[in-house]
Structure 1
């Protein structure tokens, strides 16, 4: 079994359970072609997406987070009372206060929980996982629930094919607790604030991105960040069983995997491709992809997984985890 390296004297943590939630409405490329100048082939060739899920009127960042979080707690074999901290990573809540985390904690039944929202856009889950792990290691939390939840259809112009074909709605969650053997490696994170104008929102109304610039940045910079996460955890590329990058674009995912294989990752390394049927769900994409892969039998308990998120900010973060 692969062992992860931590700083001397630091206790271990691990993911105890994962869960996810998606709205019922499936939107195919053919559906989008009815309302904008696009087609199935054009979308598949550029971003690799076949379909995605759009939220209904009753679906919110909070409601999807509650569903995903509840599933993660159940998967961990725990009760809500066993947790004391809730972190909700998101960038699409309609108002800055009250935060989503307090509402999610109460609705799940985690009473008097420490709760806060975290905004690192598409890197949000990895940021939240790093923070939760450190809180548990430090003794500030017994067990923490980390959720990435996004209703991106609230901030996407439905007539803008550069964004409307990509983004979707969902939530993914993980329970973090103490462990004798480390199951979450140190986080390798950072920002490139000089590139802040590549992805953003116009007066808090619609999201925009410079697609080609983001593509070049991601295909150039993310693989080295992933390698840094491996180095911090004391893990070799050949030890990685599963690669779960942010599901931004299938071409980006494949480019990252190709570069890691050049650095020694195995050809049989399983690579997440949840983007194909879920679209880009920002902070929800990594935990949801992990949950879908677990359900499909593509990954197994004990597998070494490399997570790496990246998005607006530009923010990025990655860590090695042992699959629950």
Structure 2
């Protein structure tokens, strides 16, 4: 047996995103629960969020985002040989979203699997795609983070209903002469896994907000710094910092402790809400679309959430 040469590196070739058209404002929520715009903004930083209508599925949103990333990459469906969907909100666990989305996009017979690491899911999936390309198991990979959290919420519970939203973000990963995706730093704090949970298939998402807030604002900035260190990048060299869009106060706390003073910090949560595994690619794609960051710069992405899981890596912006 002869081991074939594999790619020295992998990089993100393109990004894409999708949001449902239905906007739900804080004032809309105040009509159905004991809350108001000032209360929501002061605690989580959200002004509005997007919610998919009943007829729009998670797979629909994933297909839209994946199709945009594929078109932006300049590749065809025939060039993709692996599809990974990061999600924790499928209506049904079988079939998986990745095979369905691949078929809809005309991608013939790819490897296809889903990743459930909740809000860390996209970063986990990106690490898997990076490893697959470098090992020669895949040539080009479509990685999608997609969530329809609205179907798992109790819309009378202001501790969750004001936070979570729907959407999808995607990336195409391909081979590169030099690495464009840094080593992943990942882990979990399973002792706190009950802090974010859906107790059973008939229940809705529940969250212990203060537990999550304390964990995120104390445990994650060392992870962010280590991801930079392993990539050989000083935080001052970052063009962007794109953490999971969990809570504006959490985002600003981690950014301040990271010391990435020259980086544009993603604050997509203000108008997109918390979209779990979709939030990192959705935020970065929107930043690129608005011209807030430029191709070729370095971005630190950092996912964290239920599990409690976390993962981060430095990537070159496509």
Sort the TM-score into its range (normalised by shorter chain): over 0.9
Residue 158 of structure 1 corresponds to 155
Residue 233 of structure 1 corresponds to 231
Report how far residue 202 of structure 1 moved: 2.2
Separation (CA, whole Å) in 1 of partners of 2:90 and 2:263: 35
2:46–2:273 CA contact under 8 A, matched in 1 = yes
2:7–2:176 CA contact under 8 A, matched in 1 = no
Residue 125 of structure 2 corresponds to 128
Separation (CA, whole Å) in 2 of partners of 1:260 and 1:43: 26
Separation (CA, whole Å) in 2 of partners of 1:82 and 1:112: 11
Report how far residue 10 of structure 1 moved: 7.1
Matches within 5 A, 1:199-210: 199-204=196-201, 205-210=203-208
2:242–2:284 CA contact under 8 A, matched in 1 = yes
2:7–2:177 CA contact under 8 A, matched in 1 = no
Report how far residue 238 of structure 1 moved: 1.2
Report how far residue 235 of structure 1 moved: 0.9
Q: Give 5+ residue unaligned stretches, structure 2.
A: 1-5
Q: CA RMSD in A?
A: 0.9
Residue 306 of structure 2 corresponds to 312
**Residues 159-194 of structure 1: per-residue CA shift (max 9 Å, x gap):** 000000000000000000000121100100011111
Moved over 6 A (4+): none
TM-score after normalising by structure 2: 0.97
Separation (CA, whole Å) in 2 of partners of 1:119 and 1:11: 28
Secondary structure in structure 1 of the residue aligned to 2:153? coil
Separation (CA, whole Å) in 1 of partners of 2:263 and 2:10: 24
**Residues 226-261 of structure 1: per-residue CA shift (max 9 Å, x gap):** 111111111111111100000000000000011011
Residue 244 of structure 2 corresponds to 246
Residue 223 of structure 1 corresponds to 221
Secondary structure in structure 2 of the residue aligned to 1:227? helix
Residue 32 of structure 1 corresponds to 29
Residue 295 of structure 1 corresponds to 289
Q: How many residues align?
A: 312
Separation (CA, whole Å) in 2 of partners of 1:211 and 1:224: 21
Separation (CA, whole Å) in 1 of partners of 2:263 and 2:21: 31
